[in-house]
């Protein structure tokens, strides 16, 4: 943390009780990391950080999609147009969430660009180690398993890389099976693979009544299914568990290419954070309108397309 942000609380993190009309990426990339202070006594060590008003990305996503669904149902029920009977509420909520998810992802990419420029590799990026502040912007936390890469960009020499299995790159699996003979892995490339899993999760997570249906954990073939959709080869495809097949909104070709660039089996073929940022900053750098305004716009868009 010391490398990413100097110790101390110098400025109150912005709090906004009402939604801004336009959400934009942070002006300074270090703002995607919490302010912090370290304390210790004779028995324990303590790390005090900024408060993330909206909690983890996983919990925030569920709340937002539930909110979108309820707001759309309310708009449909109060609308005077009889043709709105049977309106596709889930499709509307999915569309609204994907717009926000891509904005959040763009913020995560900005954080990783800054982190990697300092030589820091997180090595445990997932939806639990991203939190959301009151402005709806992400912060990366949970650096207990991170490491500063050596001159060759490698991490994990002679030690296992502790991370959550669904988000770990293939080379991390191989490294952890044979730690002693391993010379380490490319830490930045490993983080980029984790970013790809986060992006897939953001696009296809599905809240049910209660728990979230995780599209990665619930489908062991999710990556293979993605490759099938990208290549158009469905000979061995299982559409019953495929989140892409079950989604009410098809994926844009550019997003499929982003996913493939992040999830390549070969670390050398993965896109870098800096190159990815040139895409996400251009396409997903703003989110226009508060929830009510965006809900109304999607309602009218889908109604006109019906």
Catalytic residue among 50, 124, 191, 219: 124
> 124 catalytic, yes or no?
yes
> How far apart are alpha carbons 226 and 28 in whole angstroms?
34
**30 burial level (CB within 10 Å; 0-12, 13-18, 19+):** middle
| DSSP 8-state class, residue 178 | S
Structure tokens at 14: 């912005």
Q: At what angle do helices 89-117 and 57-78 cross, to 10 degrees?
A: 150
CA dist 121 to 84, 90, 240, Å?
49, 37, 36
CA angle, residues 231, 264, 120, in degrees to nearest 5: 155
> How far apart are alpha carbons 117 and 131 in whole angstroms?
21
Q: Which residues are identified as catalytic?
A: 124
């Amino acid at each position: 943390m010391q490398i990413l942000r100097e110790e101390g609380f110098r400025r109150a993190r912005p709090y906004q009780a009402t939604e801004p009309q336009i959400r934009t990426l942070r002006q300074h990339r270090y703002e995607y990391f919490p302010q912090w202070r370290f304390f210790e006594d004779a028995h324990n060590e303590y790390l005090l950080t900024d408060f993330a008003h909206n909690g983890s990305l996983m919990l925030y996503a569920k709340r937002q999609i539930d909110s979108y669904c309820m707001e759309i149902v309310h708009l449909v029920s109060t609308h005077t147009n009889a043709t709105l009977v049977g309106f596709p509420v889930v499709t509307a909520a999915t569309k609204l969430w994907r717009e926000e998810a891509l904005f959040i992802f763009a913020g995560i990419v900005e954080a990783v660009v800054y982190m990697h420029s300092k030589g820091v590799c997180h090595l445990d990026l997932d939806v639990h180690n991203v939190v959301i502040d009151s402005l709806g912007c992400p912060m990366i936390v949970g650096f207990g398993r991170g490491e500063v890469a050596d001159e060759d960009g490698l991490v994990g020499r002679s030690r296992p890389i502790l991370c959550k299995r669904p988000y770990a790159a293939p080379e991390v699996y191989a490294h952890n099976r044979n730690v002693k003979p391993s010379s380490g892995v490319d830490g930045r490339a490993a983080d980029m693979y984790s970013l790809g899993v986060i992006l897939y999760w953001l696009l296809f997570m599905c809240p049910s009544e209660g728990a979230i249906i995780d599209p990665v954990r619930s489908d062991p073939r999710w990556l293979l299914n993605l490759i099938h959709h990208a290549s158009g080869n469905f000979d061995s495809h299982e559409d019953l568990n495929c989140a892409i097949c079950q989604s009410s909104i098809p994926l844009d070709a550019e997003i499929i290419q982003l996913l493939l660039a992040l999830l390549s089996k070969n670390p050398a073929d993965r896109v870098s954070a800096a190159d990815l940022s040139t895409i996400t900053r251009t396409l997903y750098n703003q989110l226009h309108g508060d929830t009510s305004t965006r809900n109304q716009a999607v309602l009218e868009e889908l109604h006109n397309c019906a």
